[in-house]
Structure 1
């Protein structure tokens, strides 16, 4: 518990506009102070209601960000509840700007950071793919690696998707630096022919917010070429209900895109979003044949895959920590092992993408085949076992 609290304090010190809120006892979350997200179509109506507290507003590409005056001390959770009505579609699409975080850490997941590993063989397809498949990885970005640095899809990536490894300039890797690169590697291990499309939505410390996720999903919907989307991040909401703003962004992707998300690392059954959305494939982590001790579970979880000591491509980085017992704990030569539901999710996303490519299937049909409970083992609270 002390370690969790220390991590939380460090995060709040780094993100000074974030605050812990707990409208429901024992079910905390973190939001950006004095910020609410509003579906663009509802922005004018909401602005009229909050006029006396209103500071500024900006259309952020598919979602309207409203900032309220700090002096007004508005409870953004209470405001979202009031504007949202009874939750049966008659209210306005409003939500606090909830903080999201990658899942090996920090809320209560395993205290693990990546560990250096020896070279892992580059993925190779057993047979030529029957169609091209694109997997969008919305995460910390993407760094160059021999597995893919010569591919045309990597050459197409823009500079702004490059990972930031040491944002605070302390000569140490940020807590989740390399997270996106590692996840892209897990996808490729299961779908070697996949084209990865990266977008940075969380920092190297693993922290972002709902605004960044919604903007990325809107960009993907406009781009229209993602077969599978991997979201190895998420949050708990203040009322344990789905954000209507995020729901609209996911729906805009359309039925031709499959979304896979990690179930979270709190070892509980509290819904973790976006994984708990009905259309999203929520993925828990296995340790051998059993649930990993840190993995979330519940009726809202659809699948599970190995999530302990997963091996993948990683960064080249030699940090400042000294060797211990002859082992340098932060000298990475392009490969690592890591644990978390973050790394179970891309195994499922990659399996779906690989099936679609090998069998010339739409992503939805491939997902139905991979997750068919009649053809695979299932575990209570964990769903269909994929690759376990």
Structure 2
């Protein structure tokens, strides 16, 4: 049985948004999720043009009621985006692809894209989830990367903002997080006391930043608390809210995003990205875990000239650090790679151990076609989502978390790079994070092999390679 990770995650995310009907990418492609029956357009004249064009097309060619095409959100807001409903999701197939085709001629006349899907942004997905699920790590072992020597100086500490899931209730029991603040995780366990999926994701990331760069003040915002997913139309406003709350940070670490059907950026983030460009903040963004060269946004903004100095896109290296992790996205839009497979950091259960039931089953072979001992295969476990309805005799595996965990994904390579930029700022008394980024990359001599290409690689000085062999399966 080969688990269909994307379909499992699709239903999981849909369950967290019961009032938002979701669809998969074109032709059931496992690249992105989006809201059915709704498109996004820029406020004002463009939104009105989109509305009129789609209404005329549907009335003339598809026999739909013109009133189905209407504003589904405010016309004027800080993100500069209007949600337009182009059909009733309850009535058969999704009409968004038809609306996009109807606008091609109008877009040709305007010389720009007028409308896009309302994508689901989720934590650096392997088709909507991290590279694997966390594995308990004993407290007797140090984190990996281990704590870098250095002290915290409140007058010079680098401000790092993490947009992710919130902080677990016992995070302060982990000494490295002494200078971390932010939003608490809204709900950690179910009525059965079992840990929800993705709880601890933001805490894990904060622990990596604190280990690699001790002279940091880390703030974690729980923007993605609900299974790590949010609609594009809401995400831009949430990002503005986060920076308004504490001011623009030195570094913004973001382990979330999506690919798009058009291969272009996110219309819902345009306003935020323009304002980011005018600030001094450096956005360090995960390249995503689809094992693909398809641009993943907002990380892919790093390849656009206007954002070249304000966005740093990060891919993941495998456990030995010599080449790319099987799940990591890749391509010319990924600027640097860092260890992202089997890192060890804080999760939860420091005060009282907490159980976790695996959601996904491992595969018999790497689902991305790699031949090394990757996280697709090991450690082996059976997950509840994979087995439901297929093998009722199979019992999902359960583990207990007691503070630390081992986890994989570009989600975790990203804070390692964010922290290396912060550490460079401290070591060189550099107050400009974008200048620190340029200096760090400019002096880089290390590389790794990713899909046959040699790419820039950053490896934290306290990171330890983790070679893993897959044991023989029982007969």
TM-score of the pair, normalised by structure 1: 0.83
Q: Which residue is equivalent to 1:34?
A: 37
Task: Note the alpha carbon deviations across 1:230-265, whole angstroms, 9 max, x for none.
Answer: 111111112121123313312212341111111111
Q: Which residue is equivalent to 1:270?
A: 294
Deviation at residue 348 of structure 1 after TM alignment:
0.3
RMSD over aligned CA atoms reads 3.4
Query: How far, CA to CA, are the matches of 1:256 and 1:65 in structure 2?
Result: 28
Deviation at residue 336 of structure 1 after TM alignment:
1.1
Residue pair 1:103, 1:264 contacting (<8 A) in 2 also: yes
Is the partner of 2:47 in helix, strand or coil?
Answer: helix
Residue pair 1:302, 1:382 contacting (<8 A) in 2 also: no
Q: Which residue is equivalent to 1:335?
A: 404
Task: Note the alpha carbon deviations across 1:183-216, whole angstroms, 9 max, x for none.
Answer: 0111111111211122222235222232343123
Q: Which residue is equivalent to 2:223?
A: 201
Task: Note the alpha carbon deviations across 1:29-53, whole angstroms, 9 max, x for none.
Answer: 21122334444xx246515642741
Query: How far, CA to CA, are the matches of 1:188 and 1:87 in structure 2?
Result: 49
Q: 1:330 to 1:103 in 2, by over 3 A?
A: farther
Query: How far, CA to CA, are the matches of 2:105 and 2:417 in structure 1?
Result: 34
Q: 1:24 to 1:83 in 2, by over 3 A?
A: same
Residue pair 1:77, 1:95 contacting (<8 A) in 2 also: no
Query: How far, CA to CA, are the matches of 1:187 and 1:85 in structure 2?
Result: 46
1:261 matches 2:289: no
Q: Which residue is equivalent to 2:367?
A: none
Match for 1:133 among 158, 161, 164?
Answer: 158
Is the partner of 2:417 in helix, strand or coil?
Answer: helix
1:7 matches 2:38: no
Specify every segment of 5 or more residues in structure 2 that has no aligned partner in the other structure, as ranges.
53-66, 359-380, 382-396, 461-475
Match for 1:57 among 50, 73, 77?
Answer: 73
Q: What are the residue-to-residue correspondences of 1:1-388 with 2, within 5 Å?
A: 2-4=3-5, 5-16=7-18, 17-23=20-26, 26=29, 28-39=31-42, 42-43=43-44, 45-47=46-48, 49-50=50-51, 52=67, 53-58=69-74, 61-66=78-83, 68=85, 70-71=87-88, 75-76=95-96, 79=99, 82=103, 86=107, 91=112, 94-103=115-124, 105-107=126-128, 110-118=131-139, 120=142, 123=147, 125-126=149-150, 131-143=156-168, 144-146=171-173, 147=175, 150-151=178-179, 154=181, 157=182, 161-166=183-188, 169-222=191-244, 223-253=246-276, 254-278=278-302, 279=307, 280-287=311-318, 288=320, 289-316=322-349, 317-319=353-355, 329-361=398-430, 362-372=432-442, 375-377=445-447, 379=449, 383-387=455-459
Is the partner of 2:300 in helix, strand or coil?
Answer: coil
Q: 1:13 to 1:220 in 2, by over 3 A?
A: closer
Deviation at residue 76 of structure 1 after TM alignment:
3.7
Query: How far, CA to CA, are the matches of 1:217 and 1:88 in structure 2?
Result: 33
Residue pair 1:174, 1:204 contacting (<8 A) in 2 also: no
Query: How far, CA to CA, are the matches of 1:96 and 1:349 in structure 2?
Result: 30
Count of residue pairs the alignment pairs up: 376
Query: How far, CA to CA, are the matches of 2:112 and 2:228 in structure 1?
Result: 32
Residue pair 1:315, 1:334 contacting (<8 A) in 2 also: yes
Query: How far, CA to CA, are the matches of 1:89 and 1:294 in structure 2?
Result: 38
Q: 1:6 to 1:219 in 2, by over 3 A?
A: closer
Task: Note the alpha carbon deviations across 1:351-372, whole angstroms, 9 max, x for none.
Answer: 1112112322110011112222
Query: How far, CA to CA, are the matches of 1:140 and 1:111 in structure 2?
Result: 17
Query: How far, CA to CA, are the matches of 1:89 and 1:228 in structure 2?
Result: 36
- Greater CA deviation, 47-56 or 268-277? 47-56
Is the partner of 2:403 in helix, strand or coil?
Answer: strand
Query: How far, CA to CA, are the matches of 1:357 and 1:169 in structure 2?
Result: 45
TM-score of the pair, normalised by structure 2: 0.69
